[in-house]
A = this chain, B = another copy of it.
Amino acid sequence: MLDWGRRYDRSRLAADGVAAAVVTLMLIPQSLAYALLAGLPAQAGLYASMAPLVLYALMGSSSSLAVGPAAVTSLMTAASVGAVVTQGLVSYTEAALWLALLSGALMLAMGAARLGFLANFLSHPVVSGFVSASGLLIAASQLKHLLGISLQGDTLLHLLPQLARQLERIHLATALMGLGAVGLLLLARKGIKPALRRLGASSMAADLAAKAAPVTVLLLSITLAAGLQLAEHGVRVVGLVPQGMPPLTLPSFSAQSLDVLKELLVPALLISLVGFVESVSVGQSLAARRRERIDPDAELRALGLSNLGAGLSGGFPVTGGFSRSVVNFDAGARTPAAGIFTALGLAFAALFLTPWLYHLPQATLAATIMVAVLTLVDFSVFSRTWRYAKADFTALLLTFALTLLAGVEVGLVAGVGVSVLLLLLRTSRPHIATVGQVPGTEHYRNVLRHEVITHPAVLSLRVDESLYFANARYLEDQVAAAVARQPALRHVVLQCSAINDIDASALESLETIDQRLRAAGLQLHLSEIKGPVMDRLNRTDFLRHLSGRVFLSHHQAVLTLAGPEPI
């Protein structure tokens, strides 16, 4: 903050002010809607958007990230809070609050321990599959508000059969309101900007109109619902929203708090990781556009503080949201002060506008969410990943399917687990090529791909992978098999140019290979060992006991072992 505070001037103030106004307009319906998605009263969305914005502005390293409730973390909140609440240990709002505090504490701890790199273990296919499935789950979960029916559960397996049974109970007025709002919002997204430009509006005005569309739809449906007294005809509305600033909420400690915390620990960790990945991706892509960089560990700490703030002010877990940040950036936010101004705008809304929300139909909020999450669903990644790598496709598909069918937590954990497992599998049977000399050169290439010179007494093997526990025994087998095929063999040379590491298990296997070859009257040689690998081997007895020698270049090894006149 000190950094940008000192250079703050009127032009920056103006830019930040405009951005804040635009973001505030967008955030009012979005915050209410995400609170609904998280299963909380509408005002929780407003509360969770204020303190985090200010706290992030004080600590964060991105100049345009806007922190608040986001679609995927709100869905995850609903799933995990719902599971804890059914055990009867704690009330729903209190559990949401604990979850925000716990996520905040975890993020702070990870930031302090510089564990930001842990987010890298969420591979791209896993994140894609998870986000697309979450988008679909969110849309499905909003159908109950949109159609005025009652659906329970967190997975498609729960939601879809209920939907099928309740199709005839759809509440007509609610559905008309909801689907109408969806239609208007889609129209606003696709058609309003070009249409206004064609009518002669300036680019900026057209842009502003497009961004104000959700608020306009909101106002329209409030007017409609109030005028027609729709609440009395069974259309569920937001109802009484308490007027005022967020309360200071401290969770009450009891004998059961520890049980609640235990139950929430894994969900909080997953929400932290997902929130962090979303936030950092958005932050990095915005920073790159201005040739800035962000510090992932500083981001973790800022997000941690934001979540603590959200928890203490009656909210629920927050993160740097994609849409709000992009809008903030596009509207010209120059410094984190834009976030503080947005918080002021939302405080104004909380103080004075909440009575106006009484007649807001829940179906309109559901429509806002559904249109927003459509951007999360991306099916093109399936075919792209299938073409590129089957292992990645497996992880993608599994994460996608399990998230939809077994829930967000199972999907995410299984996705990470299977990514790691597939990595181990892929490297557990490395490519081992028999190589020979390309005539007239000192290069050695795969005998299956090139016309090369080989010698009956010398076997040259190139292993295209670091040697470690999962592939050590495979190497033993492959060497044994290769030796068995070549009776005149006297020397085996391992070309180590692609071996970046040899762990203790692999060293054990190399010793075993050496002993077996020696017992059969053969020698094992190594060539082109990399510096760091050689440094480490020198700390053991292995090279001293090796039956053969170590050569700097593979060509030198073959020259020496095959004699001066290659056959």
Contact = CB atoms under 8 A, between A and B. Distances in A.
Interface residues of A, number: 60
A501 B387 contact: no
A540 B387 contact: yes
Contacts of A238: none
Contact of A540 (B388, B429, B530, B540): B388
B117 A501 contact: no
Given A125-B505, A469-B121, A388 B419 contact: no
Interface string A376-417: 000000001101110110001000000000000000000000
A120 interface: yes
Interface in A446-478: 446, 449, 464-466, 468-474
A419 B427 CA distance: 15
Contacts of A117: 428-429, 473-474
Interface in A110-152: 117, 120-126
A498 B501 contact: no
Given A388-B539, A388-B540, A530-B464, A469 B123 contact: yes
B469 A124 contact: yes
Interface string A489-511: 00000000110110111011000
Given A120-B472, A121-B470, A387-B539, A500 B431 contact: yes
A501 B389 CA distance: 10
Q: Quick one: copies of this chain in the complex?
A: 2
Given A465-B500, A474-B117, A505 B536 contact: no
Interface string A415-444: 000011001101111110000000000000
Instruction: Determine which residue in A427, A449, A519 has the highest number of CB atoms from chain B within 10 A of its CB, and name it.
Output: A427
A120 B505 CA distance: 10
Instruction: Determine which residue in A385, A505, A520 has the highest number of CB atoms from chain B within 10 A of its CB, and name it.
Output: A505
A567 interface: no
20 contacts: A117-B474, A121-B424, A122-B469, A123-B503, A124-B505, A125-B504, A125-B505, A288-B516, A293-B480, A384-B540, A385-B504, A388-B504, A389-B504, A392-B505, A420-B424, A423-B503, A446-B531, A465-B500, A497-B498, A498-B500
